[in-house]
Amino acid sequence: MSIDIPELVHRARGAAAPMYLATVVHTQGPCYRKTGARLLVGSQGRLAGGVSGGCLERDLVRRIAWMTEDGARVETFDTSADGDESERSYLGCGGTIRVLLERADPHALATLGWVAEQDGPCAVVSVLESHDPACRVGTSYAVSDTGRYGEPAWSSACEPLVRACLEGRAHLHRDLATEGGDLRVLIEYVAPPRHLLVAGRHYDTAPLVQLAKDCGWRVCVAAEHTAEDLGAPHDRIELSGVALRGWLGRHPNGAMVIMTHSVPLDRLCIEHALRSGELAYVGLLGPSERADKLLAAIEERAPLPEQARSRLRAPAGLALGGEGARAIALSIVAELEQCFARRVPVI
């Protein structure tokens, strides 16, 4: 899921109207943000998200209110060398960015709120151009594998495109014929949220939880009762076989980092994680020699599935060379991002 959506929904709930929404709908050339990036603007300035590395936000905060006085519109920002130099004094990316600008009405925010609550992939359909008097630019609705939010009259004509978006995991730009006139729509693929289970309850847990949350992960901590600050995870479970099996069953494609600093508990976590056969990432804190001993002890009772050993990353994290809990957290989150990174194509 785009990291902007949950933050944007959270900030919008406590903000006063009017609010404005900017969404990247197309990019060409080098651009800091890609299709689906969002910026929420309030009366006092930026509230959440971003559509560039900072070069466009200043201009949008200043101009978005009057730019949307007559309704939503798509604006093109050209930061290439061929652009108007007077318009490029503070732009440095070098690409072209098309941005949908609109007033953040209750329906638009509610649609994003619905998307943020889903645990699977979604498609968000937005009208970029309209020749149908009954359909305004900025009209949107969302669809997942289990439901939908909003259903404009022309949504049935868009259904094959929505299916193609979800099955192909790609953004689609398409022309759509309706009874009232032609539409140009973006069907945006929103990836499912990424789930991370951190097994541990010591002082090094909180930096990892906090950094992973900042990078958009939904973090759960598996720990015994403790007074330690665990970094305010989204959820907590007991560190037990039953609880681990439950989490793994709910999030089979998630990630797990094992940092209990306990041989029996590490062994418990490794065995459940590797026997599940599904997790995309299993990381263990500590040297590889310790991991080998833990694996040998596990396989004394019963062999692990084929290729299970290769799924365990020990030591967890990229070899960045830093020391201390925050540096270790950085190396682990960097490896998680490397493992899960996937650029969504635009078709």
Give me the chain's average pLDDT, please.
Answer: 91
Q: How confident is the model at residue 227 (pLDDT cuts 50, 70, 90)?
A: low
* Model confidence at 280: pLDDT above 90: no
- The distance from CA 238 to its chain's CA centroid, rounded to whole angstroms, is 26
Answer with the residue of higher pLDDT: 6 or 227. 6
pLDDT in tens, 130-183: 999 999 999 999 999 999 999 999 999 999 999 999 999 999 999 999 989 999
Report which of 235, 241, 242, 249 is spatially closest to residue 197, judged by C-alpha positions: 235
Report which of 178, 92, 189 is spatially closest to residue 135, judged by C-alpha positions: 178
* Model confidence at 231: pLDDT above 70: yes
pLDDT in tens, 67-83: 999 999 999 998 775 55
Annotation: CATH topology of 195-340: Rossmann fold (3.40.50)
Alpha-helical regions (H) of the chain = 4-13, 57-67, 106-117, 155-168, 205-214, 241-250, 263-276, 288-301, 325-340
- What is the CB-side half-sphere exposure of residue 334 using CA atoms within 13 A? 12
Q: How confident is the model at residue 88 (pLDDT cuts 50, 70, 90)?
A: very low
pLDDT of residue 136: 95
Contact of 250 with 230, CB cutoff 8 Å: no
What predicted TM-score, i.e. pTM, was given to this entire model?
A: 0.88
Q: What is the mean pLDDT of residues 189-204?
A: 95
Token couple for 325: 């809990």
pLDDT of residue 114: 97
Q: List the beta bridge partners of residue 190.
A: 122
Per-residue burial over 196-215, b = 16 or more CB atoms within 10 Å of its CB, e = otherwise: bbbbbbbebbbbbbbbbbeb
Q: What is the mean pLDDT of residues 235-247?
A: 95
Contacts 24+ apart (CB under 8 A), 8-14: 8/38, 8/40, 8/47, 8/48, 8/49, 8/112, 9/109, 9/112, 9/113, 9/116, 10/48, 11/40, 11/47, 11/48, 12/40, 12/47, 12/48, 12/104, 12/109
**Domains of the chain, residue spans:** 4-107, 118-190, 195-340
